[in-house]
Structure 1
Amino acid sequence: MKDKLNTEQRDYVLYHLSRHFNLPAFSRFFLFEKNDSRAPFVFFPSSNKSHNENRRIEDIPVLYPLASEDRFFHFDSNNNLIFDHDLLKGAFYLLSGYQEWQTGDKDARGRFPFTASIQYRLNIAEMPLVNIYFDIISRALELFAKKHGLVFQKKTFWGNRPFAFFLTHDIDRVDRWISAEVKRRIKIAQKHRGPRQKLAAIFHELNFFGRNNSFWNFDRMMAVEDALNIKSTWFFLPGGIKHIDAYYDLKEERIKKLARKIADNGHHIGAHGVYNSMTDPAEMRRTLREVRQLSPADVIISRQHWLRFRYPDTLKLLVDNRIEMDSSWGFAEHCGWRNSYCHPFHPFDLNQNRMLPILEIPLNAMDVTFMEYMGLDEKGTREHIMKMVHVCKKYGGIFTLLWHNNHLNEEDHPGIWDYYKTILDDIIRENPYIFSPGAMKGLPL
């Protein structure tokens, strides 16, 4: 991204910055070109160069450096505030998803891969760099306010709570003992080293008559969460591509009863976009139509199956279908923040140079990410989760956790229920606001 920010891009960053403090009280002092003699002023310099991945100040990456000094801002002799680097452009590059828009890199499922990201290259997946930039700007303007007799007021997102917690579940599978699942596990069993181990694993899969369906665990999940006063969001997946989309039918009576029970218990229902809905308008319409027919309340939030998401195409399809919130923008392969921002935000459509009305709830923690992609044990998973929770608490952000019902399965993960409860207990002890699509009223989002 070489060009300077245009007016719409700059306003996009300032809009999100304004949600953190009373920015309108300071905007009359802002200069973006040094051709104005008014004083006092706050000068934001503009970069017309590509981002730099080598410059750091206090171990903070500076994507668009403009000065040799190791500082972010300074005051001149007249107490005018001058930023030394283009922090606004750095924030825009990350928050807008520019890196995904400019590249053709895709993984086997057509997703933007973590290994192609700046978060991977700079090792900042768990560092919300946009929040850090905003914090630097806020601290500088607070000093400016003191020097000029102005009032600086920080804003809070979650009332008197230090951060928010958004607990979510993608309902991909509801039956443990179906032929497709048994076949999949028999293939896995072939990887056991010893012949006895292979035979034992295969026999276990074939001897399923009368066995408990450990994937149908929704009452237990809600009981655990209700005991902690957590209301979660459940994303239902329609059928579609065989062995890719749902193994159940939304028209089944048991699924209808489940949806009613979730809603009656005060939890929320979202749509889980089928595999091809990423770019297919008809499939997106079908997904939302079928889930809305299932849900007792209107469905206003969505997440893509397999996190199969293309920027900005998928977002525009969601907007066209009356979806107000999405929570797909996360990396499958690594925990952290794909847009380096730990708050809900509005994406920017770079094709049309405008902010989109949909609200993105960043997805930063998923069970499969820890267990499979990152290969972490329970201790390592818990450490990463609590590290991100504390980051969210520091910046007043939102911690989003995705846990699949089929991964609360003692056969595959002995002790997983106690572990899941421990994680929820850890998070609740930090006193979060419990976020849900139905609890948006009064929030500055």
Structure 2
Amino acid sequence: MFDDYEFALCLTHDIDRPYKAWPQALYYALADRQPSHLLSMLPGRNPYWQFETIMAVEDDFDVRSAFYFLNEPDLLRDKSPVSWFRSENWIQQLGRYDITDEAIVDVIHTLDRGGWEIGIHGSYHSYADQFRLAYEKAVLESLYDGSILGGRQHYLNLDRPQTWQYHAELGLRYDASLGSSTSYGFTNGYGVKRPFDNSFVVFPLTIMEVALPDPGTKEDEAIAECDRLLREAAENDAVMTILWHLRYFNEDEFPGYLRLYRYIIERAQELNAWIGPPGELYPHVAKPPDSTETRPKTEL
């Protein structure tokens, strides 16, 4: 099935904020001088709930992706009063969702039934807290009839190799946290990494959408950069992983990002890429090769 592909493109989505919070709306309204950010908060509107948009796009191309769900602790209920005075904790609280809410559980079931991968998006401090990460994994797995192969840490937080050791001990088979939110490219190599020289692998992040030139104002530049990276992937038999957050599929507030996502998939298909979620690719890169990287053209 995989023998004739030039490279692999893994599609991922971190589910940070499926609901837009008032502080976010006010910030963007003032920063962009666009009152539409406030209008989007009217009853019945939910501009960041873009699950159906993603599913429709990927259905169009007959591809699937991974959705990494976040279970951030409630600041007032789950943390000590000392934590209430730390600004970083309030940032994590804004827009927080309850992963056990009916709407979230329903969309997890819909995604799972439709062939999309369900993964874990470890909460902000869980990269250094194995007990918290184990709890989050157990809660997520209890919500649907499946098991989690991997995911990505919130804010790409990593304590290497300890975080990966926690992942492996919890039965996760891969992590996709190695990367940057400010730069893009194959800075971490063209293949998966093996921090323990076994079947646990790391999928380096090639592109986070926010690091690219803004496709709303620099569309040609953004397309050119993505095309360059896709051709580089094809030339080097690479495993390329991209991250598009849920809110960036809202064309009203983030124009150009939906079109750019579609372009990446379409162009990758033209370049004869395998396209899907990391969990689907994992069995084909799980066996440790002679080197520390797995190159899809020889492995798949």
Do they fold alike, i.e. is TM over 0.5? yes
Which structure exhibits the higher relative contact order, with contacts defined as CA atoms closer than 8 Å and separated by 6 or more residues? 2
Bigger Cα Rg: 1
**Are residues 1:369 and 2:246 paired?**
no
Instruction: Name which of 363, 372, 392 aligns with 2:233.
Output: 392
- Structure 1 residue 270, shift from structure 2 partner: 0.6
Cross-structure match for 2:101: 252
Taking a change above 3 Å as real, the CA distance of residues 278 and 432 of structure 1, as seen in their structure-2 partners, is: same
Partner of 1:126 in structure 2?
A: none
1:35-54 to structure 2, matched below 5 A, reads none
Q: Which amino acid aligns with 2:133?
A: M
| Separation in structure 2 between the aligned mates of residue 266 and residue 385 of structure 1, nearest angstrom | 26
Does the 8 Å contact 1:174/1:216 carry over to 2? yes
What is the CA-CA distance between 1:287 and the residue it aligns to?
2.0
Gaps of 5+ in 1: 1-156, 349-354
Distance 1:297 1:371, change over 3 A: farther
How far off its partner does 1:360 sit? 0.7
Give the 3-state SS of the residue equivalent to 1:434 in structure 2.
Answer: strand
Q: One-letter code of the match for 2:193?
A: F
Displacement of 1:416 in angstroms is 3.8
Per-residue deviation at 1:295?
A: 3.6
Partner of 2:25: 185
TM-fit CA distance, 1:429: 1.5
Deviation at 1:334, TM superposition (A): 0.3
| 1:411 equivalent in structure 2 | 252
Where do 1:296-315 residues align within 5 Å? 296-315=145-164
Report the Cα distance in structure 2 between the residues aligned to 1:238 and 1:232, rounded to whole angstroms.
Answer: 20
User: Structure 1 pair 324/333, CA: closer, same or farther in 2 (3 Å)?
Assistant: same
Q: Which residue of 2 aligns with 1:238?
A: 71
Partner in structure 1 of residue 191 of structure 2: 343
Deviation at 1:227, TM superposition (A): 1.6
2:175 paired with 1:326: yes
The verdict on how the C-alpha distance between 1:414 and 1:368 changes in structure 2, with shifts beyond 3 A counting, is closer
Q: d(CA) in 1 for partners of 2:12 and 2:36? A: 34
- Structure 2 residue runs of 5 or longer lacking an equivalent are 74-88, 288-300
Higher helix share: 2
Aligned to 1:150: none
In structure 2, how many angstroms separate the alpha carbons of the residues matched to 1:215 and 1:281? 30
Tell which deviates more after alignment, 224-233 or 285-294: 285-294
Q: Distance between the aligned counterparts of 2:66 and 2:98, measured in 1?
A: 19
Partner of 2:16: 172
User: 1:44: which partner in 2?
Assistant: none
Equivalent of 1:213, from 43, 46, 49?
Answer: 46
Native 8 Å contact 2:191 2:203 kept in 1: yes
Within-5 A mapping of 1:41-440: 158-176=2-20, 181-191=21-31, 197=33, 201=34, 205=38, 208-210=41-43, 212-240=45-73, 241-244=89-92, 247-339=96-188, 341-348=189-196, 355=197, 357-370=199-212, 377-436=218-277, 437-440=279-282
Distance 2:224 2:273 in 1: 18
Give the deviation of 1:368 after TM superposition: 1.6
> Would you say the 8 A contact 1:158–1:164 is kept in 2?
no
Q: Is the 8 A contact 2:223 2:260 kept in 1?
A: no
Identity %: 25
Structure 2 CA distance for partners of 1:416 and 1:287, relative to 1, 3 Å: same
**Cα RMSD, aligned residues only:** 2.6
Paired residues, what number? 270
**Pair 1:204–1:366, CA change in 2 (3 A):** closer
Aligned counterpart, 1:66: none
The Cα offsets for residues 354-407 of structure 1, whole Å up to 9 and x where unpaired, read as: x354211111101122257x9983222222222111111111111111101111
Q: Does the 8 A contact of 1:231 with 1:266 survive in 2?
A: yes
Alpha-carbon deviation of 1:211? 5.1
Quick one: distance in 2 between partners of 1:417 and 1:208?
21
Note the 1:22-33 alignment, pairs <5 A.
none
Write the distance in 1 (CA, Å) between the matches of 2:286 and 2:100: 37
Amino acid at match of 2:164: L
TM-score after normalising by structure 1: 0.56
